[in-house]
């Protein structure tokens, strides 16, 4: 992360990253080789040869990154699909996957989303924040500077609001920029006594409060076999649009149920997973400018 208290940053001798001492670029540039740049107020202010840049800008006023030391500066990574705030660990499910168990088989055996939901509900806000900060620190260490963060492991009004609260607090205090998404319709939790329609209606009732307190600008729903149907999802997403939310969709991961095409028809920002989506779905998404977040495995 570039974070300076000086006027800006000078990155010099950039060509050394790629060519070392072999100056093959010299015949290309008749007058000067543009191998340095000045960054000020988040923008590139000047590009030129290293010697000229240092003639125009004081070394004392700028932080210097010299590429002779084999350093490089690039844009931060953006992780567009995360579930940041949760408790519990499902690494033990890996051995089940290796043995050929499907996602739904693991869920029926007590694993999957409902396992994490139980652990997350039992965790305090402080514990959830502590765990999430550890994850954020690791992300930042590897170059990620912006993430989208879905809820979806509370699955009650109280727990989902808790996850949104923690997510927004983390955004205010961590270096990484966090974009919250309300995924109250991840699945219908196993302890909910009503049917899917009842659960969708319960989550719809949360939308005005989430919008009023600016806790999220995006919603998401899992549209798939074993999750929510096209009809149930359409009702939720329509209500979300009416409340001013932008739409994301977990789509066609287990089966091709037409979720990707629905994402296109409803003007979703993105459709994620897409393991079972077909070519016609990709065409519809492309025509509607829906971003495909491909999440295999």
Structurally, the chain folds into a number of domains equal to 2
The answer to whether residue 2 is domain-embedded is no
Whether residues 151 and 219 fall in one domain: yes
Calpha distance 162→169 (Å, rounded): 11
The answer to whether residue 106 is domain-embedded is yes
Of 33, 53, 69, at which residue does a domain stop? 69
The pLDDT of residue 76:
87
Chain centroid to CA 216: 13
The answer to whether residue 3 is domain-embedded is no
Whether residues 279 and 164 fall in one domain: yes
Whether residues 16 and 120 fall in one domain: no
Per-residue tokens: 224: 């798939």
Calpha distance 237→235 (Å, rounded): 6
pTM, two decimals, is 0.80
The answer to whether residue 252 is domain-embedded is yes
Of 69, 95, 122, at which residue does a domain stop? 69
The answer to whether residue 1 is domain-embedded is no
The answer to whether residue 42 is domain-embedded is yes
Whether residues 102 and 47 fall in one domain: no
The pLDDT of residue 17:
61
Whether residues 45 and 119 fall in one domain: no
Whether residues 82 and 176 fall in one domain: yes
Of 17, 47, 69, at which residue does a domain stop? 69
CATH number of the CATH domain containing 102:
3.20.20.140
Taking every pair of C-alpha atoms in the chain, what is the biggest distance, in angstroms?
76
Whether residues 114 and 156 fall in one domain: yes
pLDDT tens per residue, the chain (297 residues)?
556 678 888 888 776 665 554 444 444 445 667 788 898 888 889 988 888 899 999 888 998 888 776 666 677 899 999 999 999 998 888 888 899 988 888 888 888 899 999 999 999 999 999 999 999 999 998 889 999 999 999 999 999 999 999 999 999 999 999 999 999 999 999 999 999 999 999 999 999 999 999 999 999 999 999 999 999 999 999 999 999 999 999 999 999 999 999 999 999 999 999 999 999 999 999 999 999 999 876
Domain that holds residue 33: 8-69
The answer to whether residue 264 is domain-embedded is yes
Whether residues 57 and 89 fall in one domain: no
The total number of residues written for the chain in this structure: 297
Q: Are 96 and 111 in contact (CB under 8 A)?
A: yes
Whether residues 60 and 126 fall in one domain: no
**Edge to edge, what strands does the sheet with 177-185 contain?**
77-82, 144-150, 177-185, 218-223, 246-251, 270-273, 291-294
Whether residues 160 and 216 fall in one domain: yes
Whether residues 156 and 280 fall in one domain: yes
Whether residues 264 and 126 fall in one domain: yes
Q: Specify burial of residue 69 (Cβ count, 10 A radius: 0-12, 13-18, 19+).
A: exposed
């Amino acid at each position: 992360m570039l974070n300076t208290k000086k006027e800006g940053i000078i990155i010099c001798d950039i060509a050394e990253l790629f060519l070392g001492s072999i100056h093959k670029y010299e015949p290309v540039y008749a007058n000067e080789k543009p191998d340095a740049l000045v960054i000020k107020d988040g923008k590139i202010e000047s590009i030129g040869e290293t010697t000229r840049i240092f003639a125009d800008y004081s070394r004392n006023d700028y932080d210097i990154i010299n590429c002779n030391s084999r350093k490089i500066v690039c844009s931060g990574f953006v992780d567009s699909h995360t579930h940041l705030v949760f408790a519990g660990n499902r690494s033990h499910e890996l051995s089940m996957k290796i043995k050929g168990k499907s996602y739904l088989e693991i869920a029926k055996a007590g694993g999957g989303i409902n396992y994490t939901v139980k652990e997350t509900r039992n965790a305090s806000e402080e514990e959830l924040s502590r765990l999430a900060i550890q994850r954020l620190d690791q992300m930042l260490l590897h170059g990620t500077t912006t993430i989208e963060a879905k809820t979806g492991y509370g699955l009650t009004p109280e727990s989902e609001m808790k996850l949104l609260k923690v997510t927004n607090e983390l955004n205010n205090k961590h270096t990484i920029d966090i974009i919250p998404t309300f995924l109250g319709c991840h699945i219908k939790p196993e302890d909910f006594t009503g049917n899917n329609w009842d659960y969708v209606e319960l989550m719809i009732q949360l939308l005005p409060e989430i919008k009023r307190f600016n806790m999220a600008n995006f919603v998401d729903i899992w549209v798939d076999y074993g999750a929510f149907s096209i009809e149930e999802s359409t009702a939720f997403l329509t209500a979300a649009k009416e409340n001013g939310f932008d739409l994301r969709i977990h789509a066609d991961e287990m089966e091709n149920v037409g979720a990707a095409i629905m994402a296109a028809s409803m003007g979703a920002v993105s459709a994620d997973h897409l393991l079972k989506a077909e070519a016609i779905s990709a065409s519809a998404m492309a025509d509607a400018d829906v971003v495909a977040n491909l999440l295999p495995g």
